[in-house]
Chains A and B, each alone.
Chain A
Amino acid sequence: MAEEGDKALIVFDYIYHAMRAKHVLDKGGFKIREVAPPVEYRTGCDLAIEVETADVDAAEETLEENKVIILDILFMPKGTQFVPVFLTKLIKTWDYGDYMMVRCGNMKITYRKEDGVIVNLSGGG
């Protein structure tokens, strides 16, 4: 039986689904955290979503309703610690006058301020 504070991990096979899952679950008011998935589940550019065990069924239903494809849900031993991934903390901006560059980790987007058109992309691995 799930106890308060137990965590489950929702893992995805494609980062697009992980990012959509964060958006959908945030909007649904779930208490979640973005973390690096366990090594054996990593394929590279991926994220996992940590949720309270008690919220798993509701979170799964919400994701299904929003057509977010889940790879697996892992029920983690009590006390398991995952590395948090604070994407927003990685974001930095550079002002080039008519253009703005936004960097997140090793990924960069440069856009023209006048109309928001992306003029250059870089990084990602």
Chain B
Amino acid sequence: MLLIAGTIPQEGMPLVAGRVRLEGSNLKADGYSFPRIPGTGAMISAALSATDYLGVEPPFIVVAGDIGKGDGTRLIYRYLSENVSSIKPDIVTLHYCQPFMNLLAQFLKSVEKSEKPPQLIADAGAMYAAKAAGLAGKFSVFTPDPSEIAFLADPKATHPAYISQHLFRSEVEDVPNLIESAYKYNSAASVLVVKGATDYIARDGNIMATVNYPDVPTLEAIGGTGDTITGLVSAFVYAGVDPVEAGIIAAKSNRTAGKEVKPTPATKVSDIIDAFPSVFKKHLCEWSNICTAPSRGG
């Protein structure tokens, strides 16, 4: 099972836990419908698009409304801590949430008690908490953007807003050095997929690949186009693809889908997600060994 957890910026949205599916232009799980907006919604949508294409089970999602007050984040972590042992997910991807270090640590304790601990992937608030709490090493994959890799590379920072030096000095060309620092300070997951003008995929301190084509600068302005990479990486890893290869496929898929929709800065991320199936059909076999059946039945 691929379990994806994160908050949705809707006040009062209850905890929703269940298999997700697409219904019209919205996502639906456990009888609750919500839009494919940037953040967790875009991430789930991208993962769902890939699992559908690969023929594996759709993600099991755990989401709740949170507009920054932490209420939804608490509901999600409580659910995960209480249920991870019985749900037995293969992969858990944690996404937008308030970066509560204690709740993440509590969840990871539950994970360690599991019969078969899942692989962990994180982005956004969950990644911030993992780094700030010194728990990054427990994760298989992080998917930071350039400002977030600067945060991971700063040993004193506990949130991207508090980066004291890197963010003021650094631009994109510093990403390889920031990756090196993040590993040096044990603030990185085993694999990093750094999303930016050039996408960097690194494992255990070494840059394994870069992806910079096709170059679609407009994607930078479209909210959710980093979230989609996290969703794609999660789905491909769940389908049995090595995390580094999953990062490369995700980066290429995102860029190519972006190019196909001929975006403007006002384009919605859902338009790009809708292009993924045709991108997979045209290019996945060329980019990987995924030409026929998936390697995991789900």
Does B41 lie at the interface of the complex (its beta carbon under 8 Å from any beta carbon of A)? no
Q: Which of B38, B100, B156, B265 makes the CB contact (< 8 A) with A44?
A: B100
Q: Which residues of B contact A76 (CB under 8 A)?
A: none
Q: Which of A47, A101, A121 makes the CB contact (< 8 A) with B38?
A: A121
Does B280 lie at the interface of the complex (its beta carbon under 8 Å from any beta carbon of A)? no
Given contacts A39-B158, A108-B221, contact A119 B265 (CB under 8 A): yes
B222, A105: Cβ atoms closer than 8 Å: no
Tally of B interface residues using CB under 8 Å: 40
Does B264 lie at the interface of the complex (its beta carbon under 8 Å from any beta carbon of A)? yes
Given contacts A94-B221, A99-B221, contact A44 B167 (CB under 8 A): no
Q: Which residues of A contact B158 (CB under 8 A)?
A: 36, 39, 42
Q: Which of B38, B164, B167 makes the CB contact (< 8 A) with A122?
A: B38
B162, A121: Cβ atoms closer than 8 Å: no
Q: Which residues of A contact B163 (CB under 8 A)?
A: 105
- In the docked arrangement, what's the CA distance between A120 and B263, Å? 12
Inter-chain contact total with CB atoms closer than 8 Å: 105
Given contacts A96-B218, A99-B264, contact A108 B223 (CB under 8 A): yes
B265, A96: Cβ atoms closer than 8 Å: yes
Write the B152-179 contact mask toward A (1 if CB under 8 angstroms, else 0). Answer: 0000101111111001100000000000
Does A78 lie at the interface of the complex (its beta carbon under 8 Å from any beta carbon of B)? no
A24-32, A55-63, A66-74, A82-90 - interface stretch? A82-90
A101 CB, min distance to chain B CBs, angstroms: 4
Does A116 lie at the interface of the complex (its beta carbon under 8 Å from any beta carbon of B)? no
- In the docked arrangement, what's the CA distance between A119 and B218, Å? 13
Given contacts A43-B98, A94-B221, contact A105 B147 (CB under 8 A): yes
User: Size class of A's contact patch?
Assistant: 20 to 34
Does B258 lie at the interface of the complex (its beta carbon under 8 Å from any beta carbon of A)? no
- Please, which residue of chain B has its CB at the minimum distance from the CB of A35? B162
Does B99 lie at the interface of the complex (its beta carbon under 8 Å from any beta carbon of A)? yes
A122, B226: Cβ atoms closer than 8 Å: yes
Q: Which residues of A contact B14 (CB under 8 A)?
A: none
- In the docked arrangement, what's the CA distance between A44 and B104, Å? 13
Write the B36-47 contact mask toward A (1 if CB under 8 angstroms, else 0). Answer: 001000000000
Q: Which residues of B contact A53 (CB under 8 A)?
A: none
* 9 nearest A-B residue pairs (beta carbon): A122-B223, A119-B266, A99-B265, A44-B99, A106-B147, A36-B162, A110-B221, A125-B124, A125-B125
User: Would you mind naming 30 contact pairs between A and B with Cβ atoms under 8 Å apart?
Assistant: A36-B161, A36-B162, A42-B158, A44-B98, A45-B159, A45-B161, A85-B162, A90-B167, A96-B221, A96-B264, A96-B265, A99-B221, A99-B266, A101-B220, A101-B221, A105-B147, A106-B145, A106-B147, A106-B148, A106-B151, A108-B223, A120-B221, A120-B223, A120-B265, A120-B268, A122-B221, A122-B223, A122-B224, A125-B124, A125-B128
Further pairs besides A44-B128, A45-B98: 14, Cβ < 8 Å: A36-B158, A42-B159, A45-B99, A45-B159, A89-B168, A90-B167, A106-B151, A106-B160, A121-B38, A122-B222, A122-B226, A125-B124, A125-B148, A125-B160
